[in-house]
Structure 1
Amino acid sequence: MEQKQVSCGSVLPPLSAKYTWLVAQSLEDEKNEIGDLFFYTIHDPLINYRCSLPELLGKRIRGYYHGWYILSKKTTWSLWNPITSKFICLPPLILKDGDSGSIKECCLSLPPADPSSILLLTRTDKATFVFFRLAGKRKSKTWTEVSYAEQLEDIIGPSYLLHSLTCCSGNVYALNEYVFYCQGILVILVEIVVKDKEVVINLRLIGKCPKFDSYYEFFSISRFLTGSSSELFHIIVGFDSINDKVGAVHLFKLDMNRVEWNEMVDADDMYKACQIFEEMKDLKDTTFFVSGDLKNLKDTMFLVNSSVFYRPVISSELGGYIHIRDNMAGKDIIHSYHVKDRTISLSSSPSPVVPTSHVLLWECRLEDDHGEDGCRVDSKQTENEIVVRGVVDNLVKSNESYMLNLPFDMLVMIMDRCIGVEYMNFRLTCKRCHLAARVIKWRDQAEIKRLQNYSLISPWLMVVDQNRGVITFTDPIFGNNYFINSHVSIYGGRICCSGYGWLLFYSTDFYQLVFFNPFTNNLIKLPQTECDLRNLCFSAPPISPNCIVVGFEARNYSTIYIHNVGGEPSWLTLDLVDDSYFIYSLSFPTFSGGDLYALCDHRKLCVFKNLGKKDCLWKLVVAEAPGDWYESSSQYILTKCDQHLILIIVSEVGKSVEVFKLNDVEEEWEKIDDLGRYMIYICDAACFCVEAKTPEMENKIYFPNLHSKNGKIVFYSLETCKYHTFSEKRFDEDLMDFTGTTHHLNPHAWIEPSWS
């Protein structure tokens, strides 16, 4: 359906407070002036409102504090209250160096009517504050610029510029990166003392933000700070590799009422604030909206144009999210992170002025909510929703008489046809099911064969929810979910790889690499390593005497670590430093024909010969993979399919998927449009190819994404060149890319069920 635009002329549109509304400003090409306003919401993308407010004509919205919008137009700054229609115009901002375009962030310390209220600005290239006092008895009202560089160095030493200005409990706070610690993110109090004739700004160190354990795993990291009432919120967003996929989101809260103001935190006590911050596991009926120049973060330490807003919502189903706006693949994308479920849903921003960096949250007041006839919350149960209710014994008996009013012999017959997780769940349903289910001897060869036959249909998507202690298995064909109690505690939430029904991950319990079979609970510990390893793979099931595990150093990839599971309890190391070539990254290692192949520096293919022997060597096989590295941030994925090496290239947001096969003779990649009877499974931990057991599953690539509407696994069909889900083994719900899908941030991997 096409998006409907409603023109509201020179008045504000009737915005409902039920939704979180965004306002985008169009840019006039001729003079680069700010044009009309467009109001839209991610919850109802089919409608937007367009208006041209006289108060905002040609002005850019820079921020929102205490009910007032901060506006700017070149050297002119002003404040506007849309509720009272009051407008405050400030004198022109004339900087000594004349660089008025270097203003980075702004913050209104207190409401304008407060005698101590000032409008505080920061600059992109200098450690200075530029401020204007809004009230007070002064003959002339002018802007003032003061340096904070000396103060900052006195309290924390060499550091970067302050950023992420916010208000909390009547004070202004900011973030700062400490030069001596790559993860040294500090919270700074900007203490503003307004006297009769002067304004004094002092900086005080509150403490250090919580440590981000997965710092080195991400290509770029964004940090935001915002305040509400007496609480400060710190948001961390980590982007994976070069494809700008959100790989981690952390939300921390600091109650300023718990801070001991009488004690100054100095540079030798950076970790004091870490005990005050607490990570939030659920946002409940509140939501955040984060916007910033995230694409340019790769070359900077902070966001240039960033904003973050916190507000409650009326409808509970809309709460619990951190909405992260980014510009990807030529269009605005909203990453909606659900804090409790740790999932991210991708949606295409309905902004009619894409691309634009001028997008802010628009505050709607309940008393002015005339957009709808009240806010109705739909209490109907959605399709495919599983409702768990607590019941008493009498209710169980009553339910059993209706639900399981079957002859006992027929119930036994049903139980005999249940397999694996289905069997265990059905057996725990009630006493009659427990009695009808015979005790299975899992080592019985007939039962093992029966379980193996059941598992041959397709690998399952496994998700480990460590907070709830549950492992979820999702069947990609029928979309059924199976749950078992989790006995896994994964360090850093990272599964290294999967294969042959086993997971390889760093265990929090043992602080070392372990193999784990979630179907049998078997555990195999690997020897300790001197360094952290990344991009691991193994050649065979770990119970096989021929199983070889390979991993690379996490930071510089200069050494490969090799371990024979059935051999000596140690790792063999091989130095990869070469005078002719230095390796910056190795990814998706894949065993083929006794050799190990891997993508070198994302796009080059290299091979390791005689692995584990003294004459082991490596060389580049293919110099460049298809595609343009400088214009594309696509993901390159390597796997083996029917004795051939396969390269999959997935563009940003999955807008295109291309498959190539290695020509061993010419050592070149050849594009293919058909996988035949094979299917490929891709996830963060690994990629593998298996032969399809049913015709409807072949010639497809399965991703660890769920359709945002029906909750089913999304796959890409090489036949239709679209994304689909299964509905009774038929195609359903086609998509053009990953917008409209949800993916997990909990540890997850595709796994082939193995009960032995």
Structure 2
Amino acid sequence: MKEAKHRINMEEQESGKVQEKVNDLEDVEANETKAHLPYLPLDMVKLIAKRLILVDYLHFRATCKMFHSVAPQIQWRTTTPRLENPSLSPWLVLFGKESVYSFIDPNHGEKYLINLPQVLKEGSIIRSSKDGWLLVTVRMSTFFFNPFTQALLPLADRSFRIRNPCMGFSSTPDSSECVAVEIEDKTANNSNFFVNYCSPGNEDWDEWEFEYTNFSFDCNSPVFYKGAFYYLGKEGNLGILKLNDEEHSFEVLTKPKPPCNGNFQKFLVECNGELLSIFVAPFGKWVRVFKLNESKMTWVRVENLGNYMLYVSHTSSMSAIVKSPGMENKIYFPRFYGESIVFYSLETDNYHSFKSKDVVDFYSTTELLCCGWIEPRWC
């Protein structure tokens, strides 16, 4: 009996020592946190968490137990975060499995999933993107969709299927100036083109027919620039669509002349108030950037983007000011090297990825077609 009591006392003492060590470790961690933040009350820490951009918010939660308790976990599949500073660089968005959209951060390589509304879960196609909104079609229906706020705005129903992926829109759908446009190629029996256009709240899509011009539409979305839609044709020439109350017009510019002749991938993007064209040689042999000189109507070669970066795809192309060191002066494509997004550096004239220090061989990359770029915005 005495031996049993002695054993119990020894176990209790050992258990007490272990608990004391656990308490000591927790006290040390708490003291270290307080040492780093001696003047920040809990309310101030909460305020800081609310104003962080998403990636920093996720890192903030992982710093210590205090931060983890202050910043709630983001349930991406059921809710969306409403962070106050949406100053993230564009993400690649694509329709994924299980009826969700997948988002990939090209810098950090992190992947996020967001649930789709029921109406978009079967056969939705991304057509264009602007200011955090997507223009999406589902069979004969068209929607504006903000995947971060889950806002969904349907446009008027159609009596025909969307045949041409060349679609775009002028501004966010909450703007009175917003209009979505689609160009229909001429048919075998008709040499003319048709523009279908619609604004939020309209009961029908309007159609405008214009005569055939020496212009072949590519499958890229247009850029809304200075009150008009600019198209970069298959031959590298510019076409301008103006939808005015009195009279619509489509003009093919004789100047500027195409800066490159040949079968190239080509993209059009607005950057810092100027119009840029990007040409990619077959098999990615080289990438060239040109800026439109509007006074002389010529394309001028750009060899350095400075503090800007470009994101190009067939559904959406955009520019952004660098927010993370090392991303500047680069062009990001919907291409992957393994699981890392590929970019072209104008400084090295080579393809790279953030997960590989070596030059990336273009033949070893994979291009995604049904995707686009989007600016993460919760406002």
Q: TM-score range by the shorter chain?
A: 0.7 to 0.9
- Contact 1:496–1:685 (Cα < 8 Å) also in 2: yes
Q: CA contact under 8 A between 2:235 and 2:261: conserved in structure 1?
A: no
2:209 is aligned to 575
Deviations 1:62-92 (A, max 9, x none): xxxxxxxxxxxxxxxxxxxxxxxxxxxxxxx
| 1:725 Cα deviation from its structure 2 partner | 1.9
Q: Which aligned pairs between 1:264-275 and structure 2 lie closer than 5 A?
A: none
CA contact (8 A) 2:49 2:60 kept: no
Amino acid paired to 2:203? P
Find the counterpart in structure 2 of residue 72 from structure 1.
none
| d(CA) in 2 for partners of 1:592, 1:744 | 27
Q: 2:174 matched to 1:543?
A: yes
Contact 1:589/1:598 (8 A) holds in 2: yes
- Match of 1:562? 197
Letter in 2 for 1:707: Y
| Superposed displacement of residue 563, structure 1 | 2.1
1:506 aligns with 2:131: no
Q: CA deviation at 1:570?
A: 2.8
Cα displacement (A) at 1:614: 2.6
Deviation of the 1:661 alpha carbon: 1.3
Q: How far off is 1:420 after superposition?
A: 4.9
Aligned to 2:165: 534
- Residue matched to 2:282: 652
> Contact 2:126–2:372 (CA<8 Å) still a contact in 1?
yes
Of the three residues 248, 252, 266, the one matched with 1:616 is: 248
Is 1:622–1:667's contact at 8 Å kept on the other side of the alignment? no
Letter of the structure 2 residue corresponding to residue 616 of structure 1: H
Q: Which residue identity is paired with 1:473?
A: F
TM-score (norm 2): 0.73
After superposition, the C-alpha distances for 1:120-150 in whole angstroms (9 at most, x for unaligned) are xxxxxxxxxxxxxxxxxxxxxxxxxxxxxxx
Alignment match, 1:495: 126
CA gap of 1:674–1:436, structure 2 versus 1, over 3 A, is closer
Normalized per residue, the structure richer in strand is: 1
Structure 2 counterpart of 1:749, from 369, 372, 377: 372
Matches within 5 A, 1:383-402: none
1:653 is paired with a residue of what secondary structure?
helix
**Corresponding letter in the other structure for 2:245:** K
Aligned to 1:740: 364
Root mean square deviation, CA, Å: 3.6
Alpha-carbon offset, residue 663 of structure 1: 2.1
Q: Which secondary structure state, in structure 2, belongs to the residue aligned with residue 461 of structure 1?
A: strand
Q: Distance in 2 between matches of 1:622 and 1:599?
A: 13
1:538/1:550 contact within 8 Å kept: yes
User: CA 1:664–1:426 in 2, change beyond 3 Å: closer, same or farther?
Assistant: closer
CA gap 1:659/1:425 in 2 versus in 1, 3 angstroms: closer
The question of whether the paired residues in 1 share the 8 Å contact of 2:340 and 2:354 is answered with yes
Name the aligned partner's letter for residue 703 of structure 1: F
- Quick one: structure 1 residues 601 and 479, their matched pair in 2 at CA, closer, same or farther if it must change by over 3 Å? closer
How far is 1:573 from its partner? Answer: 2.2
Q: Give the TM-score normalised by structure 1.
A: 0.39
Partner Cα separation in structure 1 for residue 69 and residue 291 of structure 2: 54
Separation in structure 1 between the aligned mates of residue 301 and residue 122 of structure 2, nearest angstrom = 39
Report what 1:476 is aligned to: 106
Could you tell me how far apart the structure 2 residues matched to 1:656 and 1:636 are? 12
- Closer, same or farther in 2 for the Cα pair 1:693/1:419, shift >3 Å? closer
Counting helix residues as a fraction of each chain, which structure ranks higher?
Answer: 2
Offset of residue 554 of structure 1: 5.4
Residues 289, 301 of structure 2: 8 Å contact kept = yes
Contact 1:422 1:482 in 2 (8 A): no
Structure 1 unmatched runs, 5+: 1-400, 441-446
SS in 1 for 2:358: strand
The CA deviation at 1:426 is 11
Decide whether aligned partners of structure 1 residues 555 and 495 sit closer, same or farther in structure 2, where only a CA change above 3 A counts: farther
Q: CA deviation at 1:439?
A: 9.5
Identity of aligned residues (%): 33
Superposed displacement of residue 713, structure 1? 1.7
One-letter amino acid matched to 2:205? W
Q: 1:726 to 1:619 in 2, by over 3 A?
A: same
- CA–CA separation in structure 2 for the residues paired with 1:686 and 1:589: 8
Letter in 2 for 1:717: S
Higher Rg of the two aligned structures: 1
State how many pairs are aligned: 325
Distance 1:695 1:409 in 2: 29
**Please, which of 222, 228, 232 is the counterpart of residue 595 of structure 1?**
228
Say if 1:635 and 1:650, in contact at 8 Å, map to a contact too.
Answer: yes
Greater relative contact order (CA < 8 Å, ≥ 6 in sequence): 2
Q: In 2, Cα distance between the equivalents of 1:588 and 1:419?
A: 29
- What secondary structure does 2:326 align onto? helix
Structure 1 CA distance, aligned partners of 2:183 and 2:32?
Answer: 57
| Residues 1:516 and 1:719: Cα distance change in structure 2 (over 3 Å) | same
Unaligned runs of 5+ in 2: 1-21, 34-41, 75-80
- How much has 1:733 moved relative to structure 2? 3.0
Query: What is the aligned partner in structure 1 of residue 299 from structure 2?
Result: 669
In the TM superposition, 1:204-603 aligns within 5 A as 416=49, 420=54, 437=71, 451-453=83-85, 455-465=86-96, 467-487=97-117, 489=120, 492=123, 494-507=125-138, 511-531=140-160, 532=162, 533-553=164-184, 556=187, 558-565=193-200, 568-578=202-212, 581=213, 583-586=215-218, 587-603=220-236
